[in-house]
Structure 1
Amino acid sequence: MKKILLVGTSFSAAPLAQFIKSLGYELEVCGNKPSDPCVSWAGKYHCLDYSNAEFLLDLVERESYCAILPTCNDDSYLSVIKVAETLGLPGLDDLATTLKLHDKFEFRGFAATHGIPVPKIWTSDPGGVIPRPANYPVLVKPVDSFSGKGITKVSNLNELSMAIDNAKLNSRTNNYVVEDFLDGTLHSHSAFLKNQKIYHDFFVDEFCTIYPYQVNCSNSPSRISLSIQKKMQASVEKLAALLNLSDGLLHTQFIISGGELYLIECMRRCPGDLFYYLISFSTGNSYVGNYLRPFIGEDFDFSKIDESTPWSRHTISLKEDEVIHGYSIDVAAEELRLFQLSESGEHIKKAPFGKIAIFFMRYQSTAQLFESTEKMADKVHFFTNRNIPL
């Protein structure tokens, strides 16, 4: 039996692990948390910090894997890329291409040079061009974080230095980007590429209603216009051709501002927080399976016609640290599916650092979906140390 190493063991990785097992492969996993969900039912568990690519390389060189697969976080994906490049493993982009996509400063500079719409960027490095008074507000971000951590909206030059320190503190590489603040609607695009063309894709509307730079609500299908979809598809295929991207997923977050779209972040790993379920529930097609198939040399399988059933996703999180004993969800939906992430009585950190649960809701109509999705946080009521009956 051929064996595969899945690099990650968290709750988001569990469906990926199950898909590999369903194909008949022997599954092994690695990570540094023995209590994680994937550990107990994988064929073999390797306890290591896979964010250190040297540790991962040492493991892969000792074992005979037919594939090593990244899961749903940046550390997993980047380490797999480094190992694959060192060993000459097929089916993945090279490290330089990966960093060009995953580094916000590098990506914006590359995209702007080639006419792909992105926010304008500045630098406060010595001799660099800094934002002028008319350019504010701006956003200061770590170049290599997709979690919303370390992002600050800056209103004037006096606030810039502190925002940069915050961004550096939340960056693995101690680097940051200063970019134009765009006021608009947030969306994402999952494109499954074959020969640098979009084989199949999905659009999703996204909202940040608890912490301003972390998505906690999303819905499928999306409300964006066909003309914007076509512009997005053209930008993605142009980017794929310029970088000669390998077959597989390219997931992009973008903003529509003033009737125009701007690409914000691109990633080739699977999005976290059970994003894949939103697509699978709504369309009937397997997001997880099609994310993994290119890594193991299999063709995409989008055998079903997209159903466009109205589904929303909400991550339950907090504006302040709190001890949560339980909660209720007051919604009028056709169906609710709940995925619990924390235990009763657990101390939960405020967003973007802590999460309680993720739930999905099916609605009767897209009108109800569009009306309800961004209001989900208002429908969750908590039982805490302050209000639980004693």
Structure 2
Amino acid sequence: MKKLMVMGAGIYQVPLIKAAREMGIYTIAVSIPGNYPGFGYADEVLHINTVDSEAVLKAAQERQIDGICTAGTDVAVMTIGRVNDALGLSGISYEAAKIACDKVLMKQAYEANGVRTAKYRKVYFNEDVNEKIKGLEYPLIVKIVDSSGSRGITRVDSPDRLQAAILNAQSFTRKDYYIVEEFIIGREFGAQAFVMDGKVQFVLPHGDYIFLGSTGVPAGHFAPYALSEEGERDCIETTEKAIRAMKLDNCAVNCDFIMRDGRTYVLEIGGRSGATCLAELVSIYYGYDYYRKIIQVALGQKPDFPTDKAVPNASKLLMSDRDGTIFSLANRNPKDSEHIVEVKFDYTVGDTVKKFHVGPNRIGHVITKGGTLAEATAALDKALEHIEIGVS
């Protein structure tokens, strides 16, 4: 029986663990202790911090694993690269993982290879930021370099707001430096992709539903995303160029883009599948289980990635507008709806939840599909109207 290590046991790793079990694979969930739902589905649980590459590698060697992977998080990607290199496994390399997990290295790779991206400066926390960012124009974005998602990221529209943004970044990072980059005004969108044996298997652009806080936070997605023929070609070419620049191979790829004047600018790219129902978006759109493909490649197999189907679909996170305790939770949608793919609650009545600021504050999600994108999004809006969430 093949053995697979899944890094993390949170809500975005559960489908990966379940898919592996269904494939007859012995599944080892690696995570710090906690009330993580993936523990209940794995064959074995290891309470190891996923950033502790030495401990994870030792456990992987002892168990003679055949593959290691994750979904929806960058936290464990460097550890995955380290294990892959040490054991000769299929998947992202340590060199590529380091680039994917440090936005400075990522930006340097883009600059060296002609990948379109925003102007930026690397700044140490003990440096004079105003001196360092001369030549950049407001609005700016202050970013930590060692985390995905929206933690430690703030849009800054004027100099008087810069220090607060830096303090916010410092509270979320393990590094002694951060990035300040120009905010590109344009249409924000994303793409999912997969690279195997040096060849990009697909690039699927998708639209993003954005929750507007101190910066935009993805709260859902939809596909297809309307691009002109020229814009789609530029998006695909830019994605492929960025993947080569980052030396990504044998892994899922999660892309954040801005479209300005018909040209794609790369915000950042991760060496794993996206969160917020993005793996599900790929599965529905192309008509296969994307989690299984990720697992197969991690095990050294060479699956096909057919792109002849195109099923429009849309998803949104369920969230609360306040901190509190759930006192009511109900899905009043018909069970036999042809357009509803999934309504999922992460919590139950009596659980405490946080006001939505970032993706992990989610309460659940809704996914719909349709014959057209308009049909899928209309079904999503209707489904959300029939979901009751009470928090006090």
Q: Tell me how far 1:202 sits from its aligned partner.
A: 1.5
Q: Give the Cα–Cα distance (whole angstroms) in 1 for the partners of residues 261 and 385 of structure 2.
A: 28
Which one-letter code corresponds to 1:167 in the other structure?
A: A
1:266 is paired with a residue whose SS is strand
> In terms of mean alpha carbon deviation, does 177-186 or 71-80 score higher?
71-80
Q: Tell me how far apart the structure 2 counterparts of residues 238 and 249 of structure 1 sit (CA, whole Å).
A: 15
Aligned-pair CA distance for 1:292: 2.1
CA contact (8 A) 1:34 1:47 kept: no
In structure 1, the residue matched to 2:390 is: 383
Residue 189 of structure 1: aligned partner: 191
> What residue is the counterpart of 1:388 in the other structure?
none
- Equivalent residue for 2:109? 110
Matching residue's letter, 1:384: V
Q: Is 1:171 the counterpart of 2:176 in the alignment?
A: no
Checking the alignment, whether the CA contact within 8 Å between 1:102 and 1:265 is kept in structure 2 is no
Secondary structure of the 2:314 match is strand
Counterparts of 1:223-242 in structure 2, within 5 Å, are 223-242=226-245
Alignment-mate amino acid for residue 72 of structure 1: G
2:96 matched to which residue of 1? 97
Q: Distance in 2 between matches of 1:256 and 1:162?
A: 28
Find the aligned partners of 1:203 and 1:317 in 2 and give their Cα distance: 25
**Corresponding residue number in structure 1 for 2:339:** 335
The two structures, once aligned, show a CA RMSD in angstroms of: 2.9
Residues in 1 aligned to 2:59 and 2:375: alpha-carbon distance in whole angstroms: 50
**Counterpart contact for 2:140–2:156, Cα < 8 Å:** yes
Counterpart Cα distance in 1 of 2:209 and 2:315: 10
Helix, strand or coil: the match of 1:33? coil
Post-superposition CA distance 1:18-44 (Å, at most 9, x none): 222233322222222364333234222
**Are the equivalent residues in 2 in contact too, given 1:217–1:373 (CA < 8 A)?**
no
Stretches of structure 2 that go unaligned for 5 or more consecutive residues are none
Q: How many Å apart are 1:183 and its aligned residue?
A: 2.5
Matched residue, 1:59: 59
Alignment pair present for 1:36 and 2:40: no
> Taking structure 2 as the reference length, what is the TM-score of the superposition?
0.87
Match of 2:350 among 342, 345, 348: 345
CA distance in 1, matches of 2:384, 2:144: 27
Distance 1:217 1:29, change over 3 A: closer
Shift of residue 357, structure 1, vs aligned partner: 0.8
User: Partners in 2 of 1:374 and 1:115 — Cα distance?
Assistant: 41
Which whole-Å CA distance do the structure 2 matches of 1:296 and 1:171 have between them?
32
Give CA deviations for 1:176-235 in whole Å, capped at 9, x if unaligned. 211111222222212222343322232210121254432002101212223222112212
Contact 1:311 1:361 in 2 (8 A): yes
Q: Is the 8 A contact 1:342 1:355 kept in 2?
A: no
Letter in 1 for 2:189: H
Q: Following the alignment from structure 2 to structure 1, what is the Cα–Cα distance between the partners of residues 385 and 115?
A: 37
For 1:215 and 1:91, how far apart are their aligned partners in 2?
30
Q: Percent of aligned pairs with the same residue?
A: 19
Q: Show CA shifts across 1:326-377 (max 9, x none).
A: 3567999852320111121322112215111111122453234467879998
Maintained 8 Å contact 1:210/1:317: no
1:354 aligns with 2:328: no
CA distance in 2: counterparts of 1:94 and 1:303, whole angstroms: 25
Q: 2:256 aligns to what? A: 253
- Displacement of 1:236 in angstroms is 2.4
Q: Is the 2:149–2:217 Cα contact (8 Å) retained in structure 1? A: yes
In 1: Cα distance, 2:137 partner to 2:91 partner: 39
Q: Does 1:149 align with 2:148?
A: no
Q: Which position in structure 1 is the counterpart of 2:164?
A: 162
> What residue in structure 2 maps to residue 305 of structure 1?
308
What is the number of residues matched between the two proteins?
A: 383
SS of the residue 1:61 aligns to: helix
Gaps of 5+ in 1: 386-390
SS of structure 2 residue aligned to 1:219: strand
Q: 1:381 offset after TM fit, Å?
A: 5.7
Pair 1:103–1:360, CA change in 2 (3 A): same
